[in-house]
């Protein structure tokens, strides 16, 4: 849940409680809480979205040497983009062409997670959207560490008459400042 306190200050918490039970494997409960504070600035010409979060994941396991392992981790991100457009024509069809540069910075310090079980976590399939995610894993059992910036560029051709998007081209690259 996210709550806007003012136009420029949002806070909230992402939360999950799950119970895992399997006959031939370790089971238990996982509690994942991520309170956050964001200062989004959204305008017609672009956006800036800084966010600070703390991710706390705790377990209550039915067996093992450590029945209540946990992980606490800070997550900081800055997502910023601009929006430019111009009128153009292609085969006498009036179009609007956009140019949309985007910068995403992510900082998540390393935390050892070997003592945490893996219930439902796996790597995500890489896609363009993955360039702007704070975690490369599904599920809450693993949180990636990161010190990285993504630079991307999207251009679109939009039919001026109907508003339909006729073409979208996107390219992006992640620059890693530390090994993961």
Tokens of 106: 């992510």
If pLDDT is split at 50, 70 and 90, which confidence band does 2 have? confident
If pLDDT is split at 50, 70 and 90, which confidence band does 5 have? confident
Tokens of 173: 């690259």
Which positions ≥6 away from 55 have C-beta within 8 Å?
32, 33, 34, 71, 72, 73, 74, 75, 143
Higher pLDDT, 163 or 103: 103
Average of per-residue pLDDT across 121-148: 94
What is the DSSP track for 37-97? Answer: EE--EEETTEEEEEEEEEEEEEEEESSSS-SS-EEEEEEEEEEEEE-EEEEEEETTEEEEE
- Is residue 89 within 8 A of residue 59, CB to CB? The reply is no
Q: Compute φ and ψ for 97, nearest 5 degrees.
A: -105, 135
Which positions ≥6 away from 102 have C-beta within 8 Å?
79, 80, 81, 82, 132, 150, 151, 152, 153, 154, 172
Taking the CA atoms of residue 61, residue 146, residue 10 and residue 55 in that order, the dihedral angle to the nearest 10 degrees is: 10
- Is residue 69 within 8 A of residue 51, CB to CB? The reply is no
pLDDT in tens, 89-134: 988 899 999 999 999 999 999 999 999 999 999 999 989 999 999 9
């Amino acid at each position: 849940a996210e709550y806007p306190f003012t136009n420029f200050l949002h806070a909230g918490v992402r939360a999950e409680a799950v119970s895992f039970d399997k006959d031939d494997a370790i089971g238990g409960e996982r509690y994942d809480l991520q309170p956050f504070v964001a200062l989004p600035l959204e305008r017609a010409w672009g956006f800036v979205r800084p966010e600070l979060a703390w991710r706390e994941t705790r377990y209550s396991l039915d067996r093992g040497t450590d029945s209540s392992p946990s992980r606490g981790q800070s997550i900081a991100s800055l997502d910023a983009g601009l929006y430019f457009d111009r009128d153009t024509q292609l085969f006498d069809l009036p179009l609007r062409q956009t140019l949309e540069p985007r910068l995403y910075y992510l900082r998540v310090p390393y935390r050892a997670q070997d003592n945490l079980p893996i219930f439902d976590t796996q790597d995500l399939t890489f896609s363009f959207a993955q360039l702007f995610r704070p975690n490369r894993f599904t599920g809450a059992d693993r949180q990636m560490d990161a010190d990285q910036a993504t630079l991307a560029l999207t251009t679109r051709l939009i039919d001026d008459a109907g508003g339909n998007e006729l073409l979208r081209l996107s390219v992006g690259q992640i620059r890693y400042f530390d090994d993961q």
